[in-house]
Structure 1
Amino acid sequence: MEIVSKRTHQVLSYIAALDSPDVLIPVESVNEYGANPNIHVDKGDWWDTANTLAGLARRQRAFDLGFGIQENYSDFLARFGWIEIQGGSVVRITDLGKALLRHLNKPVIDTTSNDLVEVVTDPDNPFAYADALDAVTSAENSLLVDPYLRLDELRDIADFRVITRVLIGHKLKPKDYTLMSHGLAGLLNAGNEIEIRKSTALHDRYLIPPVGNVVMLGSSLNGIQKNICTFTTLGTRSSEALRSLHEEIWNEAESIEPTASQHRGPEEETAKPTES
């Protein structure tokens, strides 16, 4: 079932891509993008005039038929609370709009099928990371196995509240584990139910739901926007074997305990580890 049209999805994505405290998105820009998102081809003044007249004729015909005048994209999105128009001239996406966009960008992975299903993310796509997060948060109460997961990615997946256990590797820098402990404390205080353990037995990356098909991740989450990434659902036999194996790993893994965070200075920022 289509919730919104492809063009509306495109306009909402345009707003989200630009939305920042440092960027003002004019209402006129949003409406112009919605009406003409593709590059114009100069076919001469006669073409522009013809298009203008045709557009006016369509609007007049719609009005004559009782359909009224079509509202613009900014008014349409604001009417449903997906954006807000500040001061009548500047557009901001709302939390409701962000939630809708997450759903619209979500690849559908059938975890009940025995067939292999692949979802490929493109690093040139500005929403590749969002696509990846939606793909790995498609099953409730899941175990995420990612040897190179760090605090930033942990915070992102915690927003979805469907991954309750995370297995990470042993090759991160010591400060990464310290930051992870501090971040975990904050997530638990905010009501997230998530547990993290560390193991030396990890190499590949998986999303492992309690039942159904395991999803194999072609890249660590911190590499989504640098590499083409393929997510593959595995068959029943492979899924059951991996689920059993990682339950054993989980039971033997070292728990990362939440630690109250002190003031963190710039010197605590760490570089991302190199994957092996």
Structure 2
Amino acid sequence: MDHISDHVLRALWYLDSMASQGIVLTRNDVNRIATVTPPRDTIYRSFLNPLAGSALFESTVPSRRAQPVATYLVDVDWASETPEGLKITNKGRAILRLSGADEHEHAVNESVVNDVALSPDDPLVYTVLTRRLAAAGEGMLVDPYFKAENLRWIVEATSLKRILISKKASAKERPIISVALGTLPNGQSVEVRATDDANLHDRRIIAADGSVQMIGTSINGIGRHETAMISPEPAIAKAYRDSSEQLWTNAEKVEPRQLKAPVETDEASDRE
């Protein structure tokens, strides 16, 4: 394969790597990773030790300093600039997973495993569920049958910012959710939307980093039914992620509403 340049092979590696994570690249994506110069790393070398660089000696003297990386990460779309600062993108998260760095970090932090059973016989079932939802960061919960009584828990125990529900399934529940959004402390930190699209059925969590977890039953049924949370393979995760975003875009916002005092009747009405 000597006739194929390293430049082309690196681009092919990136294309194949992203595909393995369920991410489809555009021409611009591929060109960016092939043309943007990566920042150089630090090189350690000792000018006093003639055997520096051998396996027997490790030098701690930097002979060349590392270059800044933030601009590079943004240029290749592995990170994005937000008002709050830099945030990793789906492509950046995929690179972490492929490199093994993400797995190492999760092992250090003792994060949850990919799949987990939620048994009504487990006294810690709600603790496990809360941990999973909290790990999704500022993600989205897709639950057609979501109920207002779970909103306080979502606001206080997780960082979720979006909840997608079904218009048909929540016809009676939406006014109650509306009041809960308007009256709970920090209730408006979460946006709820309702869709009438018949394609909304499966419950899932779309995490802020783009990862997906499927939930076997509605949040309301956790603790009452045997179910599980499962992370689908990358291609399936991408399909659910894309469809969830499309449903969200076309859904109708459930506006927060505060309760008003009862209407007072006048004396004439009382007499009548």
1:116-131 correspondence runs (5 A): 117-131=114-128
4+ runs deviating over 3 angstroms: 107-110, 171-175
Q: Which residue of 1 aligns with 2:176?
A: 179
SS where residue 198 of structure 1 aligns? strand
Pairs aligned (count):
151
CA distance in 1, matches of 2:251, 2:188: 21
Q: Which moved more, 1:205-214 or 1:125-134?
A: 125-134
Does the 8 Å CA contact 1:213/1:234 hold for their aligned counterparts?
no
Q: Which residue of 2 aligns with 1:144?
A: 141
Structure 2: where are the runs of 5+ without partners?
A: 1-109, 263-272
Quickly say closer, same or farther: Cα 1:211–1:183, change in 2 above 3 A: same
1:238-253 correspondence runs (5 A): 238-253=236-251
SS where residue 163 of structure 1 aligns? coil
Does the 8 Å CA contact 1:161/1:192 hold for their aligned counterparts?
no
Does the 8 Å CA contact 1:212/1:236 hold for their aligned counterparts?
no
User: RMSD value over aligned CA atoms?
Assistant: 2.2
CA distance in 1, matches of 2:187, 2:227: 31
Deviations along 1:177-231, one digit per CA (max 9) or x if unpaired, are 11100001123x5375210000123100010013242000111111011111100
Deviations along 1:103-145, one digit per CA (max 9) or x if unpaired, are xxxx9435xxxxxx31001101233223222222212110100
Q: Which residue of 2 aligns with 1:194?
A: 190
CA distance in 2, matches of 1:172, 1:237: 28
SS where residue 159 of structure 1 aligns? helix
CA distance in 1, matches of 2:183, 2:131: 22
Quickly say closer, same or farther: Cα 1:181–1:206, change in 2 above 3 A: same
CA distance in 1, matches of 2:123, 2:261: 32
CA distance in 1, matches of 2:140, 2:248: 9
CA displacement at 1:156 relative to structure 2: 1.1
Percent identity of equivalent pairs: 30
Deviations along 1:163-190, one digit per CA (max 9) or x if unpaired, are 0000011234544111100001123x53
CA distance in 2, matches of 1:205, 1:129: 17
Q: Which residue of 2 aligns with 1:109?
A: 112
Letter in 1 for 2:150: E
TM-score for the superposition, normalised by structure 1: 0.50
CA displacement at 1:257 relative to structure 2: 0.2
TM-score for the superposition, normalised by structure 2: 0.51
CA distance in 1, matches of 2:134, 2:163: 12
CA distance in 1, matches of 2:237, 2:248: 16
Does the 8 Å CA contact 2:138/2:208 hold for their aligned counterparts?
yes
CA distance in 2, matches of 1:152, 1:168: 14
Q: Which residue of 2 aligns with 1:133?
A: 130
Structure number with bigger Rg: 2
